[in-house]
């Protein structure tokens, strides 16, 4: 067989683009022929042309070679003795080898060739071959293969990149979407499902505004309409979207930050028919917004009661003052301080104290209108702003309403708790024309209520000024006063209404202040209670009074009773009972002659420990009296639970006796009720004979008041009431301080 050798065009050799390791520039060829001579001639022809050529002399060897090396082209003889060309083709096909087979066959029978082509052969060359033809066929085949390879590679890379992008888009923490020129979703990523609960198919083709919260619709429409006309490449906006629970269908508002940009035509390679495609992202910023709102709330509110705090109160007050000034209106600032809150807080614990504050604030809130600001100023202090009031009495009415609202006991974890409040009111512009003055003066007025017996409200007036600085200095002076013996005990007589004999004395304390002179306990006892110095004061008072009155027992006044006032702070103490016992023992005072006066408030809170303490005391013969009865909660229901012997009717009822029929009723009701409970009744503040007569006619057995003498030295009392001496009515009146 002859071969015509012609020089071949170098360029005809395939030039693969991306060359793999082991790949030659020209191509790698396996020559398979059982005719060794022919194979060798092909080998040398192709090697000369720069191909890397290997040869094998049978089908079996060819299959082995193909398994080990990748060839661009296999020149395959069809007819071979053992494994023929068809079988090799089959192997190439089934092993998916990336090689092109060119069948070289002497066999001219058309069916052999066509079978080979069906089996995947790329081309065929007849033996004997023409060198040029052979070389062209090979070089075309290789070029084609290189093209296919690089196309396949490109396709693979594209698929990979597409998959990567899809992954990135769907795993983005944000919702990613594309809007068509109608503002409808033409693409949206998976994230919409987890963030908003819609399926993608729900939304595709729907307008974007379909998921915008009703409140933000207007804003959204404006924004989307302008998103593509704007010159800015990117626009951002915060908006509330509506999420939907896939289970319950329940919808919720969530906050998102939306950014939008127009997709330019060159990205889309659009022919201009689809204009205004918008690319957008929506980032869930609900947590951030909630955190901001919480921080904002916290900066201006009290977390416990959720009321505005001091800062917000001052803010609103400042605005209200400006407005009142402009419109020549009045406004009121109230300072509301809970009475004895400290005692409750200390005895029941802070958790209960907190719950009480919450409940109190709810009740107070129920008394104010929408435009008013009730704030927690701190601790147990509240402030109230009433903008635009007609006059002072409007403010007083609101204050009374608040006091009334907290009168009903609070139920805190099964404890029935009673609490009162002291309210001071400052009205703009008379009681101050700026924030600080109004708050300060309302505070001053509040203290006035505190020191005059608590639970009430009062308007500030100029003469109250100065009491604050005084209060402040008293606080500091009190400690020293105890050491310097500036406290003095006075005694006020208690008189038997049946025989007008001296029944006993009540010890009342006075403070001889080096600068302010003689001070009333009404002024300094609240201060002493706040600083807990009251414990020491009450202890000292009791010891001294027991000594004084005990001495009188020896000096012609056997059986004279001593009544002592006790602060609730004292009673709350764990060692309270022991202290009383110690004092009695140290002074050798007979317990049956001692009466302890306590306030209603102590009993109202229904405390087992208090009941036990009081029972313990009374077992020794000590008697207990309720002081100022009628001013607090005047609930009689609790009385039977406690070992109370005496009711002291508050002097305010006695004082109103002459002109107020209602008070006469109250007094007679209290007296008959106390009689029913077999209690002693002491009427306080008796100043006039007719009061005395009336009280006696009701059956009130003991009286106390200026008619029978003010609190004075014990000596003065006994001079006036020699043992067993009866007072004639006229005499007592004549002796009474006018």
CA 577 to CA 566: how far, in whole Å? 12
Residue 522 binding: pick among Ca ion, ligand C2E, none (C-beta 5-8 Å cut-off by kind): ligand C2E
Q: Is 685 in the site for ligand C2E (CB under 6 A)?
A: yes
Asked whether the beta carbons of 402 and 446 are under 8 A apart, the reply is no
Q: Which of residues 523-552 bind ligand C2E (CB under 6 A)?
A: 525, 534, 538, 541
Stretch that binds ligand C2E, among 323-331, 414-422, 514-522, 718-726 (CB under 6 A): 514-522
Q: Which residue has the tokens 């594309």?
A: 178
Q: Is 687 in the site for ligand C2E (CB under 6 A)?
A: yes
Q: Is 600 in the site for ligand C2E (CB under 6 A)?
A: no
**What burial class does residue 401 get, using C-beta atoms within 10 Å of its C-beta: 0-12 exposed, 13-18 middle, 19+ buried?**
middle
Asked whether the beta carbons of 601 and 578 are under 8 A apart, the reply is no
Stretch that binds ligand C2E, among 372-380, 383-391, 668-676, 683-691 (CB under 6 A): 683-691
CA 1 to CA 128: how far, in whole Å? 6
Q: Is 683 in the site for ligand C2E (CB under 6 A)?
A: no
Q: Is 358 left (phi over 0), alpha (psi -120 to 50) or beta?
A: alpha
Q: Is 72 in the site for Ca ion (CB under 5 A)?
A: no
Local structure of residue 433 (DSSP, 8 states): S
Letters for 671-700 (x = contact with Ca ion by CB under 5 A, - = none) are -------------x----------------
Q: Which of residues 193-212 bind ligand C2E (CB under 6 A)?
A: none
CA 359 to CA 362: how far, in whole Å? 5
Stretch that binds ligand C2E, among 93-101, 466-474, 502-510, 726-734 (CB under 6 A): 502-510
Q: Which of 567, 605, 631, 732 binds ligand C2E (CB under 6 A)?
A: 567
Output the smallest distance, CB 416 to Ca ion, in A: 24
Stretch that binds ligand C2E, among 81-89, 119-127, 313-321, 519-527 (CB under 6 A): 519-527
Structure tokens at 602: 């102590």
Phi first, then psi: give them for residue 417, nearest 5 degrees: -115, 130
CA 595 to CA 622: how far, in whole Å? 6
Decide whether 457 or 704 has the Cβ nearer to ligand C2E. 704
Q: Say which residues have a Cβ less than 8 Å from residue 203's Cβ, sequence separation at least 6.
A: 185, 188, 192, 210, 211
Q: Is 627 in the site for Ca ion (CB under 5 A)?
A: yes
CA 539 to CA 542: how far, in whole Å? 5
Q: Collapsing DSSP states into helix, strand and coil, what is residue 431?
A: coil
Residues in contact with ligand C2E, counted by CB under 6 A, come to a total of: 26
Q: Is 581 in the site for ligand C2E (CB under 6 A)?
A: no
Q: Which of 565, 567, 623, 680 binds Ca ion (CB under 5 A)?
A: 565
Output the smallest distance, CB 401 to ligand C2E, in A: 27
Decide whether 502 or 507 has the Cβ nearer to ligand C2E. 507
- DSSP notation for 59-121: HHHHHHHHHHS--SEEEEES--SSS-HHHHHHHHHHTT---EEEEEES---HHHHHHHHHTT-
Pairing of strands 175-179, 185-188: antiparallel
Q: Is 471 in the site for ligand C2E (CB under 6 A)?
A: no
Q: Which of 258, 374, 505, 509 binds ligand C2E (CB under 6 A)?
A: 509
Q: Verify cis geometry, omega within 30 degrees of 0, for the bond prior to 429.
A: yes
Q: Is 711 in the site for ligand C2E (CB under 6 A)?
A: yes
- What are the beta bridge partners of residue 509? 489
Output the smallest distance, CB 597 to ligand C2E, in A: 6
**Interface with Ca ion (CB under 5 A):** 565, 597, 627-628, 684
Contacts with ligand C2E, residue ranges (CB under 6 A): 492, 507-509, 520-522, 525, 534, 538, 541, 565-567, 597, 627-628, 651, 684-687, 704-706, 711
């Amino acid at each position: 067989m002859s071969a015509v050798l012609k020089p071949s065009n170098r360029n005809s050799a395939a030039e693969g683009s991306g060359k793999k390791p082991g790949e030659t520039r020209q191509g790698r060829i396996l020559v398979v022929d059982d005719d060794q001579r022919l194979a060798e001639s092909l080998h040398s022809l192709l090697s000369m042309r720069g191909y890397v050529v290997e040869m094998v002399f049978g089908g079996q060897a060819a299959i082995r070679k193909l398994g080990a090396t990748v060839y661009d082209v296999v020149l395959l003889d069809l007819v071979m003795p053992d494994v023929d060309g068809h079988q090799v083709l089959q192997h190439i096909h089934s092993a998916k080898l990336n090689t092109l087979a060119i069948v070289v066959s002497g066999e001219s029978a058309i069916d052999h060739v066509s079978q080979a082509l069906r089996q995947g052969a790329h081309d065929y060359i007849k033996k004997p071959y023409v060198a040029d033809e052979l070389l062209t066929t090979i070089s075309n085949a290789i070029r084609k293969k290189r093209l296919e390879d690089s196309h396949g590679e490109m396709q693979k890379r594209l698929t990979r990149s597409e998959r990567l992008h899809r992954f990135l888009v769907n795993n983005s923490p944000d919702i990613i979407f594309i809007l068509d020129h109608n503002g409808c979703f033409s693409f949206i990523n998976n994230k919409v499902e987890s963030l908003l609960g819609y399926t993608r198919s729900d939304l595709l083709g729907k307008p974007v505004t379909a998921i915008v919260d009703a409140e933000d619709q207007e804003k959204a429409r404006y924004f989307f309409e302008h998103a593509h006309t704007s010159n800015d490449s990117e626009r951002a906006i915060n908006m509330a979207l509506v999420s939907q629970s896939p289970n319950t269908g329940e919808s919720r508002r969530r906050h998102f930050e939306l950014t939008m940009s127009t997709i330019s035509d060159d990205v889309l390679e659009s022919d201009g028919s689809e204009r205004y495609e918008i690319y957008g992202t929506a980032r869930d910023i609900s947590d951030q917004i909630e955190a901001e709102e919480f921080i904002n709330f916290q900066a201006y509110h009290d977390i416990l009661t959720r009321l505005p705090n001091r800062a917000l109160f001052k803010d609103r007050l400042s605005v209200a003052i400006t407005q009142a000034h402009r419109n020549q209106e009045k406004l009121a600032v109230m300072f509301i301080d809970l009475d004895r809150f400290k005692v409750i807080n200390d005895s029941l614990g802070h958790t209960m104290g907190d719950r009480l504050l919450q409940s109190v604030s709810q009740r107070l809130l129920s008394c104010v209108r929408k435009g008013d600001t009730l704030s927690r100023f701190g601790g147990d202090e509240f402030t109230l702003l009433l903008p635009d009031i007609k006059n002072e009495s409007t403010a007083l009415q609101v204050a009374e309403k608040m006091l009334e609202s907290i009168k009903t006991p609070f139920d805190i974890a099964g404890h029935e708790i009673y609490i009162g409040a002291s309210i001071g009111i400052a009205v703009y512009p008379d009681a101050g024309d700026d924030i600080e003055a109004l708050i300060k003066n309302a505070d001053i007025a509040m203290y006035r209520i505190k020191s005059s017996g608590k639970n009430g409200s009062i308007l500030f007036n100029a003469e109250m000024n100065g009491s604050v600085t005084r209060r402040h200095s008293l606080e500091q002076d009190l400690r020293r006063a105890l050491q310097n013996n500036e406290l003095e005990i006075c005694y006020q007589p208690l008189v038997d209404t049946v025989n007008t004999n001296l029944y006993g004395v009540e010890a009342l304390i006075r403070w001889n202040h080096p600068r302010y002179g003689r001070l009333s306990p009404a002024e300094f006892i609240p201060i002493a209670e706040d600083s807990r110095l009251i414990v020491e004061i009450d202890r000292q008072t009791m010891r001294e009074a027991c000594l004084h009155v005990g001495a009188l027992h020896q000096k012609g006044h056997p059986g004279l009773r001593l009544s002592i006032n006790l602060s609730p702070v004292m009673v709350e103490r764990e060692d309270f009972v022991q202290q009383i016992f110690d004092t009695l023992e140290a002074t050798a005072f007979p317990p049956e002659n001692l009466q302890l006066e306590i306030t209603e408030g102590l009993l109202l809170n229904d405390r087992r420990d208090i009941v036990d303490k009081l029972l313990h005391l009374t077992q020794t013969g000590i008697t207990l009296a309720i002081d100022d009865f009628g001013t607090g909660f005047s609930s009689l229901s609790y009385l039977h639970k406690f070992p109370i012997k005496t009711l002291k009717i508050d002097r305010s009822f006695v004082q109103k006796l002459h002109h107020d029929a209602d008070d006469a009723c109250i007094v007679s009701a209290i007296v008959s009720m106390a009689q029913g409970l077999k209690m002693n009744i002491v009427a306080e503040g008796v100043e006039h004979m007719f009061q005395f007569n009336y009280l006696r006619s009701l059956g009130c057995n003991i009286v106390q008041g200026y008619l029978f003498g003010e609190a004075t030295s014990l000596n003065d009392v006994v001079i006036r009431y020699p043992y067993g001496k009866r007072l004639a009515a006229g005499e007592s009146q004549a002796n009474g301080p006018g």
